[in-house]
Structure 1
């Protein structure tokens, strides 16, 4: 357990940060899920709109340190490829 004041403060700060990151990650997953549900339903227009909203959320996760840059790029790329396939 933390003994020094600095270590105790760090524990409190890490807990707050973990809560914020958890909500950010959950929000990103929600946006990605909307794209996937639209794809499963076969609704190309809805999928395209959902992707347009999900992309900035993924990149915001990168700037906030929740996701790695390449992870977000990979997810966007794969979703875009699936949306394009259903549109064609």
Structure 2
């Protein structure tokens, strides 16, 4: 357990940061889940709208240090390609 004042303070800061980051991650997952659900339902307009709302949230996760840049880039790429495939008729 933390003994010095400094280590006690760092432990408090760590807990506070953990809570904030957890809330951010949860919020991002909710936005991504909405895109997934729209794709699953086959509703092209809803999927496009959900993706538009999810992209800034994912990007914010990068700037806040919650997610890695390449991870978010990959997620956006994969989601957008699935939404695009949904909106174009299958040939």
The TM-score normalised by the length of structure 2 is 0.96
Unaligned runs of 5+ in 1: none
Matched positions, count: 88
**1:67 partner SS:** coil
**Structure 1 moving runs of 4+ over 6 Å:** none
Residue by residue, what CA displacement relative to the aligned partner does 1:42-73 show, whole Å, maximum 9, x if unpaired?
00000000000000000000000000000000
**2:80 partner SS:** helix
Distance in 2 between the 1:4 and 1:69 partners?
A: 36
Unaligned runs of 5+ in 2: none
TM-fit CA distance, 1:15: 0.1
